[in-house]
Amino acid sequence: MAGLDQLIKYLVRFYLTGQSYIEIIPNLIHLTYQENKGISFSFLADLPTMLRVPLLSGVSAIVIVGLSFYIYKKWETLLQWEKWGFVFILSGALGNFWDRAVRQQVTDYMYFHYYDTGFFVNNLADDLISIGFVLIVISGFLKKEVNAAKQ
Domain that holds residue 130: 2-150
- Closest by CA position to 127, among listed 96, 82, 81: 96
pLDDT of residue 149: 67
Q: CB of 44 within 8 A of CB of 56?
A: yes
29 versus 20: the higher-pLDDT residue is 29
Phi, psi angle pair for 79, to nearest 5°: -70, 160
DSSP 100: I
Task: Say whether pLDDT at 124 is over 70.
Answer: yes
Residues 110-139, mean pLDDT to the nearest whole number: 95
Q: What is the pLDDT of residues 27-64, one digit of tens each?
A: 999 999 999 887 776 677 687 778 888 888 899 999 99
DSSP state at residue 102: I
CA 58 to the chain's CA centroid? 16
Asked if the model's pLDDT at residue 131 lies above 70, the reply is yes
Number of domains forming the structure of the chain: 1
* Residue 9 and residue 107 in contact, taking contact as beta carbons nearer than 8 Å: yes
Determine if residue 48 is left, alpha or beta; phi over 0 gives left, psi from -120 to 50 gives alpha, anything else beta.
beta
In this prediction the pTM is: 0.86
E strands, the chain, are: 22-25, 29-36, 106-114, 117-122
Radius of gyration for the chain, computed over Cα atoms and rounded to the nearest angstrom: 18
The catalytic residues are 108, 126
